[in-house]
C-alpha cells in the first residue's frame, strides 16, 4: 500500500531484542512512582494487589489478542495496520495521528519527566523553577512553571532519538543491555526488602483513608497501574524489523508480559512488607523509602540508580518503536511525507525519529507526572479496545488471512479486554481529576479528521 518509494526497513531484531522492547519499555518509572497514588485511591494493600493483578491479566489478554494480529500482519506501525485492515484507512489514520501527537509522544515525555525526578535525588537543583509563563496552560489551568530538570529531560529525549537514528540493531543492543541491567537491579531491591529484618506481614493489614475509594477509586488506581503496564504493545510497532516475526512476536509479547507481572507483584510485596500503607501513601518514591528504612541513605541512592536505568530503557524502547507509527502513516500517504524518509545507510526512519522526539520534548513542559500519564492512558485505551476488537472483525472479514498464532481463549479473551477497556474509559472521563486530560486527548483525536480528508483526497489523486 506504500505510496512513497525509497529504502525499506530491515529485519535485524531477534527474539531477545523483541522481548527487551516489551519488558524494557513496560518497566519504566511506574513501578517506582505509582504505588503511592494507588494506595491513596483504594486505601489498603490488599486492594492495591487486586488492582495490580487485574491490570496484569487485562494486559495479558491484550497481549494474547495482539499476538494473533502481529503474527498475521508483521508490518511497521502496529495497531495502525490492524485498524486499517479491520475498519478501513480512516480508523488506522486516527490511531497513527493519536499515537504521534498524544499517546506515544506524551508517554515519552512522562518517562523523561520521571527520569529527571529521580536524577534530582543526586542533583536537587533540577527541581528549581527557572521560569514561570503567565499563561493558563499549566496544571489545573494555572501558570506554566518550567524547571531545570524539564530542560534536561528534553535534551535526553533528543539524544536518544539521535542514537536510534544509527540503526535498529544498535538501538536493539542498547535495549537488551539496559533491560537486563534493570531486571537485575529491581530483583536485587526486591530481595533486600524481603530479607529485611524489620519487615512484617502485619503491614498488609494497614490502611489509609481512600480518596475517592470504592468503584471509582478502584478504576482510578487501575489507570495508574495500566500506565505502569503501558508499552506492552510497542514491539508490534517494529514488526517489520523483527526476524521470523510469526514465531518471535507472539513469544516476545506473551512471555514479556508475564515476566512484567511477576516483577511488579514481587516489588509491591516487598514495598508493603517493609512499609505500612500510610508510609507508602506519603512516599512519592516508594522504593527509595523502602530502601532508606532497610539500608539507610545508601540504599535510597541505589534505588535511584536502578530507577534511572529502568526509565532509560523504557525511554529508549518508546522512541525506537514509536517513531515507526508516523513513518508507516507517511509511507501510505496519510501523513507529512518527510516522515516516510528512510536512511539509505542505517535503514531507520530518521526524520520520524527526530521530529517525534522534538514534539515529545515540547510535551515535557506541559504538566506534572500524573497529568502526563492521564493524558496518555485515555486515548491509548480507546485505540487498544478497537485494535483488540479487530481480531474478531478480521476473523469474519479476512478468513483467508494466514494466522500462524491464534488467540488463546478466543473470543472470550478479546471480548473481556474490550469490555473492561470501555468501563475504564467511562470511569476516567467521569473522574474530575482526570477529565481535563481525557478531554484534551479526545480533542487532539478529533483535530486529525480534517487532515485525514486532505491526505486521503491527495492519495486518491
Domain ranges (residues) in the chain: 15-88+168-311+368-460
pLDDT digits (tens, 9 = 90+) for 305-362: 888 888 888 898 889 888 999 999 999 999 999 999 988 888 889 999 999 999 999 8
Closest-CA residue to 203 (of 289, 279, 266): 279
Identify the segments of the chain with pLDDT beneath 70: 1-8, 134-143, 367-377, 433-434, 437, 459-461
The phi-psi region of residue 208 (left if phi > 0; otherwise alpha if psi is between -120 and 50; otherwise beta) is beta
Taking the C-alpha atoms of residue 279 and residue 189, their distance in angstroms, rounded to an integer, is 18
> Quick one: which H or E segment has residue 31?
helix 30-42
Class level of CATH domain 15-88+168-311+368-460: mainly alpha
What is the per-residue pLDDT for 370? 55
Closest-CA residue to 163 (of 19, 313, 30): 313
pLDDT digits (tens, 9 = 90+) for 213-269: 787 888 888 888 887 888 888 888 888 888 888 888 899 999 999 999 999 999 999
Rg (CA), the chain: 21
Taking the C-alpha atoms of residue 451 and residue 25, their distance in angstroms, rounded to an integer, is 30
All 3 cell numbers of residue 311?
Answer: 526509565
What number of other Cβ atoms are within 10 A of residue 142's Cβ?
12
Name the average pLDDT for the chain. 85
Alpha-carbon separation of residue 24 from 110, 174, 183, 317, 320 (angstroms): 15, 10, 9, 7, 12
Q: At what angle do helices 286-294 and 245-274 cross, to 10 degrees?
A: 50
Amino acid at each position: 500500500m506504500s505510496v512513497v518509494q525509497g529504502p525499506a526497513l530491515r529485519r535485524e531484531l531477534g527474539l531477545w531484542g523483541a522481548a527487551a522492547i516489551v519488558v524494557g519499555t513496560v518497566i519504566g518509572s511506574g513501578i517506582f512512582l505509582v504505588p503511592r497514588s494507588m494506595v491513596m485511591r483504594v486505601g489498603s494493600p490488599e486492594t492495591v494487589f487486586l488492582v495490580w493483578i487485574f491490570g496484569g491479566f487485562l494486559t495479558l489478554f491484550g497481549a494474547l489478542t495482539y499476538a494473533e494480529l502481529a503474527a498475521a500482519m508483521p508490518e511497521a506501525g502496529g495497531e495502525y495496520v490492524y485498524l486499517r485492515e479491520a475498519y478501513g484507512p480512516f480508523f488506522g489514520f486516527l490511531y497513527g495521528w493519536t499515537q504521534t501527537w498524544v499517546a506515544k509522544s506524551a508517554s515519552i515525555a512522562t518517562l523523561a519527566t520521571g527520569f529527571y525526578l529521580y536524577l534530582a535525588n543526586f542533583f536537587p537543583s533540577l527541581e528549581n523553577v527557572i521560569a514561570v509563563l503567565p499563561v493558563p496552560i499549566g496544571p489545573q489551568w494555572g501558570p506554566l512553571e518550567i524547571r531545570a530538570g524539564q530542560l534536561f529531560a528534553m535534551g535526553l529525549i533528543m539524544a536518544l532519538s539521535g542514537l536510534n537514528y544509527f540503526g535498529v540493531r544498535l538501538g536493539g543492543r542498547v535495549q537488551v543491555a539496559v533491560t537486563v541491567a534493570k531486571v537485575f537491579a529491581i530483583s536485587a531491591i526486591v530481595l533486600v526488602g524481603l530479607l529485611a529484618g524489620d519487615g512484617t506481614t502485619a503491614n498488609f493489614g494497614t490502611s489509609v483513608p481512600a480518596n475517592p475509594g470504592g468503584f471509582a477509586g478502584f478504576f482510578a488506581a487501575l489507570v495508574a497501574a495500566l500506565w505502569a503496564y503501558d508499552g506492552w504493545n510497542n514491539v508490534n510497532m517494529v514488526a517489520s524489523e523483527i526476524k521470523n516475526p510469526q514465531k518471535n512476536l507472539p513469544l516476545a509479547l506473551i512471555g514479556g508480559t508475564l515476566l512484567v507481572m511477576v516483577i511488579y507483584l514481587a516489588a509491591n510485596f516487598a514495598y508493603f512488607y517493609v512499609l505500612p500503607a500510610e508510609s507508602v501513601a506519603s512516599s512519592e518514591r516508594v522504593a527509595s523509602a523502602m530502601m532508606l528504612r532497610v539500608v539507610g541513605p545508601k540504599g535510597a541512592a541505589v534505588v535511584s540508580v536502578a530507577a534511572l536505568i529502568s526509565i532509560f530503557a523504557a525511554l529508549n524502547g518508546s522512541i525506537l518503536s514509536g517513531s515507526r507509527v508516523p513513518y508507516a502513516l507517511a509511507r501510505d500517504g496519510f501523513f507529512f511525507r518527510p516522515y516516510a524518509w528512510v536512511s539509505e545507510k542505517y535503514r531507520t526512519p530518521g526524520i520520524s525519529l527526530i521530529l517525534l522526539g522534538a514534539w515529545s520534548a515540547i510535551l515535557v513542559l506541559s504538566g506534572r507526572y500524573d497529568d502526563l500519564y492521564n493524558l496518555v492512558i485515555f486515548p491509548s485505551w480507546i485505540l487498544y479496545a478497537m485494535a483488540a476488537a479487530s481480531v474478531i472483525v478480521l476473523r469474519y472479514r479476512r478468513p483467508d488471512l494466514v494466522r500462524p498464532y491464534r488467540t488463546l481463549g478466543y473470543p472470550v479473551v478479546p471480548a473481556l479486554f474490550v469490555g473492561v477497556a470501555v468501563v475504564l474509559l467511562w470511569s476516567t472521563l467521569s473522574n474530575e481529576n482526570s477529565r481535563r486530560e481525557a478531554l484534551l486527548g479526545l480533542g487532539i483525536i478529533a483535530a486529525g479528521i480534517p487532515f485525514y480528508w486532505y491526505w486521503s483526497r491527495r492519495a486518491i489523486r
